[in-house]
Amino acid sequence: MSYWKAGKIIQKGRYVIEKVLGAGGAGITYKAKDVVNENIVAIKTLNANIQALPNFAKHQERFIQEAFRLAKCSHVHVIRVDDVCQEEDLWCMVMEYIDGGNLETLVKKQGGFSEFEAIRYIYQVGSALTYIHKQGILHRDVKPANIMRRIENNEAVLIDFGLARDFIEDKTQIHTNSRTEGFAPIEQYQRNAKRGAYTDVYALSATLYYILTLQIPFPAQFRQQGINLISPQTHNSKISDRTNLAILKGMELLPENRPESVAEWLNMLTEDVEIHLTNNTPTPNYPIIPTTPETSQPSKNNRANTHHPLPIIPIIPVPKKKKVRRIKARPHQTNQPPQEYTYDPLSPTRFENNPIIPVKSNYDNQESIIDTHLEEIVSQTEISSSETVIEPQKKPKMSAVGIDYHHLEELLSQKKWQEADLETQKLMLKAVNKEDFGWIDRHAMQEFPCEDLHSIDRLWTKYSQGKFGFSVQKRIYLSLGGKRSHDKKVWESMGDRVGWRNKGLWLFTEDLNYDLNAPQGHLPSLAMSGLLEGIYTLISRTMDCNL
């Protein structure tokens, strides 16, 4: 089996394939001409890789479920399915063709959306989510790449229901733990967990975070380890307090701390803006988000007609002459000006402008600087009273910034690997003055003292007998084809090779193997602990320091 080529005719001459529009992990979508209706359509089916799997029938069954789940949805901001059909042994979805690209592509091209433009798209997608939630469906994969734009009216359209599942609000159910890092809430990392509309609220908030900052939010699994989510305003100071707080609230780590519904969250987001049905009609006299039948309390704006359905229309900003009170910075925030953070663990183009400098690994299990025995140097040097005294070799400098590594050495010498791992993370944060901030961004890592990097690495390699250390990880990373730029496949291969992943799932640091039976390069865990932008950031610095 293979993909369909241009010119292929299917469904007894009804559709003519023109080209491939895009392909994902399971599906492939074609642009095709509907000969009968003389218009363009999009046709989605399973890709060649899935077709070749021995359990293809199971994948096809899920695809059919997705197709009919979508086909029963009728909402202007949900992709429209016109037909579900079978071509030989392959099932297909015939959908409307949307010609405006997706938000991920658009926002990168524009260099970011204005706040009101972003809110308008998010509001439209929010109305679509509210609709499908009432049908008992969770989308589970809301992200910029799954939101298309219709050019003719500049409307957002939610697509790709491949991960969508039926759900019962707040009931513990078994779902697959498939997800998109940075946009998935913590409950999607578990197969058996409670889920609700708040699951999609997290992803929608994360989507707004991205299209306003061009930064993928910190993944939930790392946040669970105590790493704070960076405020959107840190990346983009033009974001209003209202929007900033709505995003943070929607992305609360614990589900019970998030708004229970998309409508509730959208009320927080659109509190200070009014909506027009079109660009030419006056402001309606009903609330931005009406109260649900379960809650009869009217909006605080006290506008009537709370029975009116969710408006699925653009938002037009209404300037207000009101002094904005700045919210006091959280404890983890600093008083320094916002830095240009670029944490993006999924984008293959994150550091594409950085020069790729191939550096041969010089790992040779060097002696630790602490293993320099000055007494032996003195004893092996014959000195007489009439000869010039030879001074013993000075002990190399351990730290360029005054860090004391003796406790780390003590832990390593006692084989207390987990405690040593935590001590390493603590000392590295201290070395770049990031203790309060909680993680080391790319800019800070570029300035990490080479003396300190060498000291930490030599201690780890010495006491692990060459099994652990940054230099070991660097050698493995480069052997897998890793470079200074991020490559998702290399990162996943690295995780599999050093034991940071199990059956395709990333482990939490507390689940790592803290003994010498662990795979080579398993420790230190800094690169996957959530304290660093990515292993490529660390490896890049090891190259600079000739580790």
For 272-289, the pLDDT digits (tens) are 555 442 333 223 332 333
Q: Using pLDDT thresholds of 50, 70 and 90, give the confidence band for residue 249.
A: very high
Q: Which residue would you say has higher pLDDT here, 525 or 368?
A: 525
Tally of CB atoms within 10 A around 225: 12
Strands 505-506 and 192-195 turn out to be unpaired
What distances in angstroms separate CA 491 from CA 117, 357, 464, 474, one per listed residue?
34, 18, 24, 12
Look at the chain and count its residues. 547
Q: Where are the domains of the chain?
A: 9-96, 103-299+306-316, 369-382+393-544
Q: What is the mean pLDDT of residues 150-174?
A: 70
Q: Please check the confidence at residue 446 and state whether its pLDDT lies above 50.
A: yes
Q: Is residue 157 predicted with pLDDT exceeding 90?
A: yes
Residue 86: CA count within 13 A, CB half-sphere: 5
CB 228 within 8 A of CB 125: no
Integer-rounded Cα radius of gyration of the chain: 28
Other Cβ atoms less than 10 A from the Cβ of 1: the count is 13
Average pLDDT, the chain: 76
**Predicted local distance difference test score (pLDDT) of residue 343:** 33
Mean pLDDT of 183-204: 86
CATH of 103-299+306-316, one of 1.10.3720.10, 1.20.1530.20, 3.40.190.80, 1.10.510.10: 1.10.510.10
Q: Running DSSP on this structure, what letter comes out for residue 256?
A: G
State both tokens at 278.
């079109």
Whether residue 244 is predicted with pLDDT greater than 80 in this model: the reply is yes
Check the CA dihedral 487-489-495-498 and report its sign.
Answer: negative
Mean pLDDT, residues 92-109: 92
Q: Which fold has domain 9-96?
A: Phosphorylase Kinase; domain 1 (3.30.200)
> Residue 296 above 50 pLDDT?
no
Distance CA 48, CA 25 (A): 10
- Cα within 13 Å of Cα(291), Cβ side: 14
Mean pLDDT, residues 493-500 taken together: 91
Q: What are phi and psi of 364, to 5 degrees?
A: -140, 25
Q: Which two tokens stand for residue 6?
A: 């241009």
Query: Residues 34-78: pLDDT tens digits?
Result: 999 899 999 999 988 888 888 888 888 888 887 887 877 888 899
Region 240-259: what's the mean pLDDT?
A: 94
